[in-house]
A and B are shown apart, each in its own frame.
Chain A
Amino acid sequence: MKKHLPKLITILALFVLSALIVLPAGKGLLLEKPIELGLDLQGGIHLVYEADLSGVADGDKGATMEGIMGVINNRVNPLGVSEPNIFVQGDNRIVVELPGTELSDAQKQRIGSTALLVFGEKTENEDEAVWTNSLGMWKPATAEIDGVVYELTSSYFKENTYVSTDQFGRIQMNFEWTEEGSKISEIVTGRLVGKSLGIFEGDSALLGDDGQPIAPTVNTVITDSGIITGLSTTEAQLLSKQLNAGRLPVSLEVIYENTISPVLGADFVDLSVLAGVIGLLLVIIFMVAFYRLPGVMAGLALIFYVVLVLAVYKIVPVTLTLAGIGGFILSIGMAVDANVLIFERMKEELRAKRTVGAAIESGFSRAWSAIWDANVTTLIVCAVLYWVGSSVAAGAPVQGFALTLGLGVLASMFTAMFVTRTFLRSLIGSSYAKKLNLFTTETGEQHA
C-alpha cells in the first residue's frame, strides 16, 4: 500500500482536478465555461452554400472564396449571433453555423446573395420604386446602349477598388469602371448631374458611418473612375474587399440546411445524460458481479474515466454533438474492455496457482499487447472517420463521433494501465489479497 501511495495520490489529485474542471455542470469551478455543444444539442442553424466558380480562373478561386466569406461574415454580424462559425469547406463551399438562432427566410437569403452594389436614381412613380428610405423612393439607374438596357452596378467595377483618404482626412473608397461600365456610367451620370445617386446593397441602401444612406450628388459626368465617401475605415475596407471578389460572376446556392430548435437540443442533452448515467451504473454492477474486488476497482476506474474524459472535452475543447455523446457513451461500454482483458488474464494466472500479486503483474503485462493492437486499430478507424467528416457538408456529427470515440480509447488505455493497475497493486500484501474469493467467482478449491 505504502509503496503505491504517491501514485494513489496522483490519481486522486487528477480525479479532483478533473472533477473541479467539470463540476458544477455547465460551469466548472476551475474552468468556468460549459462543455461546448454542437448545433444539434443547443439548437441553431447550419447552412452550406455552394459557389458557382465556373467563371473564375483557377488561380483566383481561393481569393474569391475568401472574398465571399468576408461578405457573409459582414452579413451575419448584424444578426447578433453570439458565436457564429463561418468557414470555407473544400474548394467551393462555405459553411455557416449559427448556434442558438432562428432566422427568417429573408435573412437566410440575404446571407447568401452575391455582393453587389446597385446604383439608383430617385423616382416619383410608386410602381417603379425598388427601394424606399428616408431620402425617398428609388429605382435602379439604367442606361440604354444599342437597344439593350443596362443597370449601373458594381459588376462593372474593375477588380482594383481600394481605400484612401482625401486632403481633409476623409475616407474614400476608389473604384474604376470597366470599359463597358464606363459607357453606362457616362450615360447615367450625364443624365443625373446635380441629382443624387443612391447606392444600394441587396434590398436596402448602403449605410454610411453616420447610419444614413449613402447617396452622393453627381457633380460631373463620371467615365473612368469614382469614389464613395461617408463610410468608416473598416466598412470601406470591407466593402472594397467584397467588391473585388463580389464583382466576380459568382452565385451562391444553399445546398444544405439544418435548423434545430433549442428545445429539441435541450431534450437530447437531458436524455443523453440519463442514458449515460444508467449505462454507467449497469456496467459497474456487471463488473462487480463478475469480477468481485477487481470489478470494484474497475468501477472506480470507470468513474475516474468518465470525469477525466469530460474534463478533456472541456480543455481541448471538443464540441459535443449528439453523435459525439453516442460515441462517448459507447466508449463507456468499451472502456472496461482493457479491464476485462486484464482480469481474465489474472484469473488464468490464479488458476495456474500463482499468487494474487504475481497474477496481477503478469495479467497486466500480458494483456498489454492485445490492448495496444486492438486500440490502435480502433484509432485508425477514428482517424478515417474524422477525415471523412471534414469532407462531408453535414459532417460535424461524424467528426464529433470520431473525436469522442478516439479520445475515449486513449483515456481508457490510460485508466486501465495506470489507475486500475495502481488500485490493484496497492492491494498486494494486504489481507484482501489473501482472499481468493474476492478475485474470482470460481470456487477456491483448485487454488487451495
Chain B
Amino acid sequence: MPNIIGKRKLFLSISGALIALSLVFLAVFGLRAGIDFSAGSMLTIAFDTTPQLSELNAELDNLGYGTAIVQETGTEDFMIRLPAITDGEKNSLKAGLTAALGNLTERSFETVDPVIASQTSRVALIAVALAALGILLYLTYAFRRMPKPMHYGVVAVAAVLHDVLAVLGIFALLAAIFGLEINLVFIIGILAVIGYSVNNTVVIFDRIRENKLRGVAPTFEGVVNRSVGETLIRSINTSLTTIIVVLALMLFVGATIQNLAVVMLIGIIVGTYDSVFVAPAILVIWDNLDRRRLGGRVTA
C-alpha cells in the first residue's frame, strides 16, 4: 500500500503551487471573455479558396474592423469576433470580403446584447455556487453516520473549488497562447468538471466511510491511507477512459466544442489528482487539528 497520506505535505505543496500559479496566470493573462460574456458578434465563414490568416486580417483591417479577432477552426472555417454588428453591417462586411478574397459562405452568425452577456455571467456564478451548496448538503447527509459529516461535504467542495481555480488558471495560460475565449460552452465544461471532480472524490470518501466503520486501521490516517490506496487504480482507470473520449471529441469535432474538451481534459487531470492526493489528506489534517484542540484524547 503506497503511503500517500504520509506524504501529504508534498502533495499539498504541489496543490498550493498549482493554485498560486493559476492565480498568477489569471492575474497576468486574465480570461478573454467571448461574446457570451462581453456582448458582440461572432461570424463564422468559409471561403471557396481558403486565404491565409494574414490576408483575412489585413482585409478586415481595410474594411474598418481592425479590432476583429480571427480564429481558424481547423475545418478551414474562420471564426471572426467583432463588436456587435447589425445584419446590414454583416452583409456589407461579407460583400467586402468576397470582393477581396473570393466567394464565401456564412456558416454561422451570433450576436449577443450586453443585457444577455451580463446576465449570463451572473447566472454562471450562481450555478457554481448552487452546485457547491447542493454537493455540501448531500454529502453531509450521506456521511451522517460518520463522526464529523460536515467535514466530508466541506472538503469535497474545497476540492471542487481547487479544481475550478486550477482549470481557470491553466485555461488562462492556454488561452493566451492559442487565443481562446471563454464562452457558454466553457461554462458547461466547468460545471462538467465540478460533476466529475466530486464524483471522483465521493468514491474515495465512500471507501473511507466503509473502512472506518469496519475499523481496518487503528488511526484515522491509517484508514484514509488504506482507502486511497485501494481506490487508486479505479481512480486512474476511470480518468483514462474519460480522457480517451474527451480526446476523441477534441480531435474530431473541432473549435466549437474545443473549449469544453480543453476544460474537461484539464479538469479530469486536476480533479483526479486532488481527489487522490489532496482531499483525503485535508480530511486527515482537519481531523488532527480537531484532535489537538480537544487535547488529543479522542480516538479514531
Bound CA–CA A332/B244 (angstroms) = 10
Q: Please tell me if the beta carbons of B123 and A370 are within 8 angstroms of each other in the complex.
A: no
Bound CA–CA A255/B77 (angstroms) = 26
Q: Please tell me if the beta carbons of A374 and B203 are within 8 angstroms of each other in the complex.
A: yes
Q: Which residues of chain A have C-beta atoms less than 8 A from B127's C-beta?
A: 384-385, 388
Given A382-B195, A384-B131; A264-B107 close (CB under 8 Å): yes
Given A326-B257, A405-B195; A264-B108 close (CB under 8 Å): yes
Given A327-B192, A392-B120; A259-B130 close (CB under 8 Å): no
Known: A268-B253, A272-B252, A377-B138. 20 other contacts (CB 8 A): A255-B113, A257-B111, A259-B106, A275-B253, A279-B245, A279-B248, A323-B188, A332-B245, A333-B244, A333-B246, A344-B231, A369-B206, A373-B142, A373-B202, A373-B206, A384-B130, A388-B127, A388-B130, A393-B120, A398-B188
Mark each residue of chain A from 41 to 54: 1 if its CB lies under 8 Å from any CB of chain B, else 0. Answer: 00000001010000
B75 at the binding interface (Cβ < 8 Å): yes
Bound CA–CA A401/B210 (angstroms) = 33
Least distance between B238 CB and chain A CB atoms (Å): 5
Chain B, 137-159, CB within 8 A of any chain A CB: 138-139, 142, 156
Given A271-B253, A393-B116; A381-B135 close (CB under 8 Å): yes
B286 at the binding interface (Cβ < 8 Å): no
Given A261-B105, A276-B248, A398-B187; A388-B199 close (CB under 8 Å): no
A348 at the binding interface (Cβ < 8 Å): yes
Q: Please tell me if the beta carbons of B108 and A259 are within 8 angstroms of each other in the complex.
A: yes
Q: Please tell me if the beta carbons of A344 and B184 are within 8 angstroms of each other in the complex.
A: no
Bound CA–CA A185/B175 (angstroms) = 63
Q: Please tell me if the beta carbons of A334 and B238 are within 8 angstroms of each other in the complex.
A: yes
A105 at the binding interface (Cβ < 8 Å): yes
14 contacts between A and B (CB under 8 A): A255-B112, A256-B116, A275-B252, A326-B261, A329-B245, A333-B245, A344-B233, A366-B210, A377-B199, A378-B195, A378-B199, A381-B191, A394-B112, A397-B184
Least distance between B27 CB and chain A CB atoms (Å): 27
Contacting residue for A374 out of B86, B91, B108, B206, CB 8 A: B206
Bound CA–CA A271/B201 (angstroms) = 33
Q: Which residues of chain A have C-beta atoms less than 8 A from B199's C-beta?
A: 334, 337, 374-375, 377-378
Q: Please tell me if the beta carbons of A261 and B185 are within 8 angstroms of each other in the complex.
A: no
Q: Please tell me if the beta carbons of A48 and B191 are within 8 angstroms of each other in the complex.
A: no
Bound CA–CA A436/B188 (angstroms) = 43
Q: Which residues of chain B have C-beta atoms less than 8 A from A282's C-beta?
A: 244-245, 248
B51 at the binding interface (Cβ < 8 Å): no
Q: Which residues of chain A have C-beta atoms less than 8 A from B188's C-beta?
A: 323, 326, 385, 397-398, 401
Mark each residue of chain B from 176 to 212: 1 if its CB lies under 8 Å from any CB of chain A, else 0. Answer: 0000000011011001101110111011011101100
Bound CA–CA A201/B70 (angstroms) = 42
Least distance between B300 CB and chain A CB atoms (Å): 21
Mark each residue of chain B from 243 to 263: 1 if its CB lies under 8 Å from any CB of chain A, else 0. Answer: 111101101111011001100
Beta-carbon nearest neighbor of A260 in chain B: B108
Bound CA–CA A354/B244 (angstroms) = 33
Contacting residue for A258 out of B77, B108, B241, B246, CB 8 A: B108
B50 at the binding interface (Cβ < 8 Å): no
Beta-carbon nearest neighbor of B129 in chain A: A384
Contacting residue for A323 out of B77, B142, B231, B260, CB 8 A: B260
Q: Which residues of chain B have C-beta atoms less than 8 A from A388's C-beta?
A: 123-124, 126-127, 130
A330 at the binding interface (Cβ < 8 Å): yes
7 interchain residue pairs of minimum CB distance: A333-B242, A255-B113, A279-B245, A279-B248, A333-B245, A275-B252, A381-B195
Q: Which residues of chain A have C-beta atoms less than 8 A from B261's C-beta?
A: 326
A111 at the binding interface (Cβ < 8 Å): no
Beta-carbon nearest neighbor of B236 in chain A: A340
Beta-carbon nearest neighbor of A298 in chain B: B241
Beta-carbon nearest neighbor of A388 in chain B: B127
Mark each residue of chain A from 206 to 244: 1 if its CB lies under 8 Å from any CB of chain B, else 0. Answer: 000000000000000000000000000000000000000
Beta-carbon nearest neighbor of B143 in chain A: A373
Main SS at interface, chain B: helix
Given A341-B234, A376-B138, A392-B120; A384-B191 close (CB under 8 Å): yes
B44 at the binding interface (Cβ < 8 Å): yes
Q: Give the total of B residues in contact with A, Cβ under 8 Å.
A: 76
Bound CA–CA A366/B209 (angstroms) = 12
Beta-carbon nearest neighbor of A261 in chain B: B107
A287 at the binding interface (Cβ < 8 Å): yes
Least distance between A313 CB and chain B CB atoms (Å): 18
B240 at the binding interface (Cβ < 8 Å): yes
Chain A, 273-327, CB within 8 A of any chain B CB: 274-276, 278-280, 282-283, 286-287, 290, 322-323, 326-327
A336 at the binding interface (Cβ < 8 Å): yes
Q: Which residues of chain B have C-beta atoms less than 8 A from A383's C-beta?
A: 134
Q: Please tell me if the beta carbons of B202 and A370 are within 8 angstroms of each other in the complex.
A: yes
Q: Which residues of chain A have C-beta atoms less than 8 A from B260's C-beta?
A: 323, 326
Contacting residue for B107 out of A263, A326, A337, CB 8 A: A263
Least distance between B186 CB and chain A CB atoms (Å): 11
B119 at the binding interface (Cβ < 8 Å): yes
B61 at the binding interface (Cβ < 8 Å): no
Chain B, 86-112, CB within 8 A of any chain A CB: 86-88, 91, 105-112
Bound CA–CA A24/B260 (angstroms) = 30
Q: Please tell me if the beta carbons of B203 and A370 are within 8 angstroms of each other in the complex.
A: yes
Least distance between A233 CB and chain B CB atoms (Å): 36
Beta-carbon nearest neighbor of A344 in chain B: B234
Given A108-B87, A381-B131, A398-B184; A330-B246 close (CB under 8 Å): yes
Q: Which residues of chain B have C-beta atoms less than 8 A from A275's C-beta?
A: 245, 248-249, 251-253
Chain A, 126-162, CB within 8 A of any chain B CB: none
Bound CA–CA A271/B196 (angstroms) = 24
Beta-carbon nearest neighbor of A262 in chain B: B107
Q: Which residues of chain A have C-beta atoms less than 8 A from B184's C-beta?
A: 392, 394-395, 397-398
Contacting residue for A377 out of B75, B119, B139, B264, CB 8 A: B139
B49 at the binding interface (Cβ < 8 Å): no
Bound CA–CA A394/B237 (angstroms) = 35
Q: Please tell me if the beta carbons of A381 and B134 are within 8 angstroms of each other in the complex.
A: yes
A267 at the binding interface (Cβ < 8 Å): yes
Contacting residue for A369 out of B106, B109, B116, B210, CB 8 A: B210
Q: Which residues of chain A have C-beta atoms less than 8 A from B195's C-beta?
A: 377-378, 381-382, 405
Q: Which residues of chain A have C-beta atoms less than 8 A from B108's C-beta?
A: 258-261, 264
Q: Please tell me if the beta carbons of A329 and B110 are within 8 angstroms of each other in the complex.
A: no
A30 at the binding interface (Cβ < 8 Å): no
Chain A, 339-354, CB within 8 A of any chain B CB: 340-341, 344, 348
Bound CA–CA A278/B106 (angstroms) = 30
